[in-house]
Amino acid sequence: MKADMGTGLTPPLDLSTQFTMNELRRENSMLRNQLANLLEHAHQNQQIMSRHQDFDLRLISTSSFRELVENIFSTLAKMSELDIVTLGLLDRQKGLQTIVQDLNITPEEFPSLFFVQNELDLRIHGEQLRKPALGIFNQADHGNMFLTCEKKPASVAIVPLIRQNKLLGYLNLGSFQASRFNTTMATDFIEHMASIIAICLENVINNERLTHMGLTDPLTNVSNRRYVEQRMLEEIGRARRQQYSIVCMYLDIDFFKQINDRYGHQGGDDVLIEVSNRIKAELRLSDTMGRFGGEEFVALLVDASAEDGMMVAERIRKSIAERPFQFHQMGSCQATISIGVSTLSESLNYGKIDNVARELLQDADQALFRAKNQGRNRVCEST
């Protein structure tokens, strides 16, 4: 017999081998899909890391409080796809709030920024957080952190901002998705972000405080002449662009030397401090006032008419004349003030801003001079 040389065809695989190969193909396909998913996640994570690195660099480069807060509320919220971001800062002596007012930062500009004097108002479950707390929103625990929000979040991350073991405040992140923040999530990334924000926050606050000290009268704690003159140039430029009028008031305490001679310099200081407080109480947050030296003050009312200026000046005059001034140690005295008022209307706001500012102040000073000559304790308007 001849040997069977075969037909040249591959012999069929048995069923067991076919099953094994099919399983390997399925497993290989699953592995390829998993690898593709891992690569996609890695790409997404790389993009996220890149965005956060850019955000860190942007924070580090900020030089002002306003710029830092803008980045936190807008850039962070957009980058991290957050529905709500609020920032609560601990301000025991209201010093930071004073600086914020001097920077003309109003509650309307940053409604999600708030200040607390008592550290107890920043506690969760009665305790100060040392690490981020994540979970479902609870009104009793988290309500204080989202007071200004009409719609409350479904889940939150309450992030303490700590610098050198000192609590600066809380950064509060909110999402309308209940699954966004949960107690099982790792917080390393959030803690890193919080440490960057805390460092930047401390830095800009210290810078603003140094600037504030250089532009603040140490006795009355209102702005000094340098700051008022600087703001006057800024406000004249803004009024020119936005086409509104501004009012300048020059104020001088009547017979102040007699108060000093009779009650001593401490009595005079007490009167200066209280006069500045009463002037400021009649002004808006958007207005500017400061001590020009001695017993003289200057106030600048933005987007105000001549009638507005005269009305505010008269309120100030009455607030000073109608209530006695209590001394720090003992006793009291009466005091009055004379005020000159000048107005820069839209139609006259042209030319070099330095010259416009000088004329506006001179007009108010001349009106003050007339008030003094007419008997003091009165308001006169520039002609």
**C-alpha dist (Å) from residue 326 to 211, 322, 329, 333:** 31, 13, 8, 7
Q: What is the DSSP letter of 251?
A: E
Residue 293 CA to residue 222 CA, distance in Å, equals 12
CB 208 within 8 A of CB 303: no
67 flagged as catalytic: no
Q: Give the pairing of strands 246-253 and 155-163.
A: unpaired
Two structure tokens written together for 375: 């008997």
Identified catalytic residue from 235, 274, 282, 295:
295
Residue 297 CA to residue 364 CA, distance in Å, equals 11
DSSP string, 118-155: -GGGG-BTTB--SS-EEEE--HHHHGGGGTT-SSPPSE
The terminus-to-terminus CA distance of the chain in angstroms comes to 137
Residue 104 CA to residue 110 CA, distance in Å, equals 11
Residue 334 CA to residue 326 CA, distance in Å, equals 9
Catalytic residues: 295
